[in-house]
Chains A and B, each alone.
Chain A
């Protein structure tokens, strides 16, 4: 069993990368991810990792070099935030379509504009349809654990897809947390050797990556990607079970917190889940049947499992730290609502957009959502389905 240390989220992510010891890391610093690259480059300098560290001039190049390395058969990683992820955009689709098992921590930060460096999820939510697996993390501990598991998930023969491990900028990335870490040997044993399916550097088996496929075959390759996504949930579960044996920490597709007998449920991803758990405990102490579903795997979306966990609730409020600007509420809200559509019993649903650009979310904000839910439940209908929580009115 591992030892306890005090680390920031970025230190924890950099440590996970050190223990993963990838063959190649190509990265560019961006607030609030900067420390990850900084810490990791010092590991490279001090010879603590065998990694070839590629300094690049932009995130577009970071992702391109990571793709090249992965196609060459290397275990390759990078890390980014916000505008950096946006600049990687076209290459994200290349990585997933080439079926390269790249693992990338993304420290969630608002996309400009206006220019902002603080937390929201507009960056990764914008990339939700890029064909990457997305795992969200409440804490530094979860970011660390998810990164290690992500290697196994990405490289699983049924999957072979890239994975983003998302956690909140500043709140998690710069907050100091007491967490439990594994020994280097435990991590290297858990992840095993990378066995690339194809390698550009294998002269015995020369291959071409990145051909043109037009009307004749493009569709078939996209169909393969969609099929691979259907295999992910089972792999995430299996890897979670194996990880529990090593770490003692339990991971599912999502976390249910006092949800079983709850009548009113909140759904949220990342650090705000911690705040929500406080309020759930407080309301439970008052005898209110409330609970929380914390999103972990958002891509692919665990439709059946989430529908089963929520269909018996009277009302569900989904908190999104990003808007879709569709006039239909936040991205998680839309998925949850869609997942519930086929259920015989369907709870009332509400969307709350919160915390954009790092706007603080406190206990009172969460209390307000639960009291809104209670009012709607009593009324038997939702009069305001799309809400903006904590905005100056």
Chain B
């Protein structure tokens, strides 16, 4: 997908739509991916509190997965998850294709929850045309 034409975007790089951080897909930055191991999780919600990108998805007060469109792979969640529980593992992003293999090699992991529920709304999508380009795909919508 290519980006929107120069005639169609607000001039002066003004962003007339507030609360648009959702459109800025920090997931592009990630070099490590957290894997949430559902059956180990004790639902203490520490990861949800600590995640700086609100990328831990909850439903009815329970963790249900990770939003990989916004998770930038900082590893805070894995660090904060109680040591005895250890329900979040960080794996290298370029090994993420072997996701299932890795998950099944972890003892007591049970099923692995991977959830990506990001549905960008209208407005400037910073990642258009640059998804997986390897570049820091920019931030119309965010201060440097």
Contacts and interface: CB of A to CB of B under 8 A. Distances in A.
Nearest to B136: A214
A66 to B, nearest CB: 15
Contacts of B5: 220
A251 B80 CA distance: 70
Contact of A216 (B3, B15, B18): B3
Interface in B1-17: 3-7, 9, 11-16
Contacts of B11: 99, 160, 197, 221, 224, 228
Interface stretch (B37-45, B48-56, B60-68, B127-135): B127-135
A325 interface: no
A347 B85 CA distance: 84
Nearest to A99: B12
A213 interface: yes
B41 to A, nearest CB: 35
Contacts of A117: none
Interface residues of B, number: 31
B74 interface: no
Interface in B66-122: none
Given A211-B139, A215-B130, A198 B14 contact: yes
B143 interface: yes
Contact of B127 (A198, A209, A216, A218): A216
A337 B50 CA distance: 63
Interface in A187-241: 197-198, 205-221, 223-224, 227-228
Contacts of A89: none
Interface residues of A, number: 28
A211 B15 contact: yes
A211 B142 contact: yes
A100 interface: yes
Contact of B13 (A197, A206, A211): A211
A212 B124 CA distance: 12
Contact of A224 (B6, B126, B127): B6
Contact of B138 (A99, A197, A205, A215): A215
Nearest to B4: A220
B13 A213 contact: yes
Contacts of A206: 18
B23 to A, nearest CB: 11
A210 B3 contact: no
Contacts of A212: 138-140, 142-144
Nearest to A205: B16
A98 interface: yes
Main DSSP-derived SS at the A contact region: loop
A216 B6 contact: no
Contact of B12 (A209, A217, A218, A219): A209
Contact of A217 (B16, B135, B136, B138): B138
Interface in A252-282: none
A92 to B, nearest CB: 15
A83 interface: no
Given A99-B12, A198-B14, A221-B6, A216 B128 contact: yes
B27 interface: no
A97 interface: yes
Nearest to B135: A215
B35 interface: no
A211 B142 CA distance: 6
Most buried by B among A197, A216, A220, A228: A216
A213 B20 CA distance: 15
B47 interface: no
5 contacts: A97-B13, A198-B14, A208-B14, A214-B138, A224-B12
